[in-house]
Amino acid sequence: MKNLSVVKFGGSVLTDWKSIRKVAELVKREVDGGKRLVIVVSALKNMTDSLIELAEKASFKEVSKRDMDLVMSSGEELAAKLLYSTLKTMNVKIELITPSSKLWPIITDNVFGNANPLIKKCKLKIRNEFKPLLEKGYNIVICGFLGKTEKGEITTMGRGGSDLTAVVLASCLGLKEVVLVKDVEGFYTADPAKVKNAKLLNKINVEEASYLTLSGAKVIANKALKYILKGMKIRIVGISNGSLTNGGTVIEGDALSFSLTSYNKPVCMVTVVGKAASKPETLKVLTEKVQLSKGKILAISTEEKAVIFYVDGNPSEILNKLHEVIDNRGRENAVKAISTIENLALVTLKGKKLETTPGVIARAVSPLAEAKINVFGLLTIHSSIRLFVPWSRRREALNLLRRKFGER
């Protein structure tokens, strides 16, 4: 369908009747300009927290997750009904869809409090019941954050779940862009509340956005990034922008899917024993020495009494360069000794749910242990695991991990 967009308005921009009116006027301008909109709505600001507090106090904190989801759903339903009724007074051709509607499209598993959409079920509902309403020329207001199990029980999809609702709807409708309207303009080079000269990023890829959200940036729910289709974009704009098509930050790229790769050359593991990790200047000198040896640092691991460098380079040159630091700083116990292990393979495992899957590290290591493949190093960062194994057994390790994680 031409000119169709999914737009989500977060609770941070829905605070009172004035903000609801402002959102409605923005929607009205877009519709009058030829746009067709699916409008995803979060609960009004602080409403969800208030509902949780009420339910917990009334039940002495004995309310079940299933019943808490039912309670919390009233926040999104109220916000959607308020915006729907306001748009009707503006003569916008609009329909309201809540979980009680037979057209409800977000079907989830039954993990109450943090449910996951069942994409195949969602697509079926959207194709058979949701999409025909759009084809009749209607715009739609729909509750974000909420889902329904196949048995019809209401679920919630975790904090920021309205972002997930918007992305899932856009994906199932085959759209190229989804717009998230928030109280911030998008991703910045740092938190503008903490850094004076922070600059807005016009573009960022999915992996970079994932790293930032998992490290504290509350711009978009990380869970939503896992449902982006190839070629799809997420545009984040501030409500003050006044436009749904310009400005803000655009997130591009494919969703983080499973991948298993190996670095194309042998690497060495260099262990520097001492207290360098607690001495920033020494750590800086060590890093510079590795770079002067023309070594490429692939990863660094620090502990209280050791720093480990994983480097693509000539082991002998790296060792000799680093050894220069002992002469200058050995008396401080910053660097006492250095050792290397050569001819290691760097194997990287990435997947969109690795950071939330219990036991995933054990799953990665166990087949290698059973095959008596030693793991010399293991590093994790959000959705990736890096393993260092003998170069001579690299292919064997890759094959074992492929079988374990089901990569084709």
Q: Residue 143 is inside which H or E element, if any? A: strand 139-143
Domain shared by 350 and 275, yes or no: yes
CB 290 within 8 A of CB 322: yes
pLDDT, tens only, 380-400: 876 788 999 999 999 999 999
Q: What is the CATH number of the domain that holds 318?
A: 3.30.2130.10
At 192 the pLDDT is 87
Query: What is the span of the domain harbouring residue 322?
Result: 259-405
**Between β-strands 337-350 and 267-273, what pairing exists: parallel, antiparallel or unpaired?**
antiparallel
Q: Checking DSSP bridges between strand 203-205 and strand 249-252, what pairing results, if any?
A: parallel
Same domain, 293 and 365: yes
**Boundary residue ending a domain (222, 252, 282):** 252
User: Are residues 198 and 290 both part of a single domain?
Assistant: no
Q: Are 208 and 263 members of one domain?
A: no
Whether residue 295 sits in one domain with residue 204? no
- Give the domain-ending residue among 189, 221, 252: 252
How far is Cα 271 from Cα 404, in angstroms, rounded to an integer?
Answer: 31
Rounded-to-integer distance, Cα 36 and Cα 27, Å: 10
Residue 407 has a pLDDT of 47
Q: pTM score, two decimals?
A: 0.75
pLDDT exceeds 70 at position 23: yes
Q: Are residues 198 and 286 in the same domain?
A: no
327: pLDDT strictly greater than 60: no
Q: What is the CATH number of the domain that holds 70?
A: 3.40.1160.10
Do residues 210 and 305 both lie within one domain? no
Average pLDDT over residues 367-391: 90
Local structure of 286: helix, strand or coil: helix
Number of domains within the chain:
2
Please say if the pLDDT value at position 218 is more than 90.
no
Q: Which of 252, 271, 305 is the last residue of a domain?
A: 252
Residue 166 CB partners (closer than 8 Å, separation 6+): 6, 7, 8, 40, 144, 178, 180, 224
State whether 248 and 275 are in the same domain.
no
Question: How confident is the model at residue 336, as a pLDDT?
Answer: 82
191 and 63 together in one domain: yes
Cα(first)–Cα(last) distance of the chain, in Å?
34
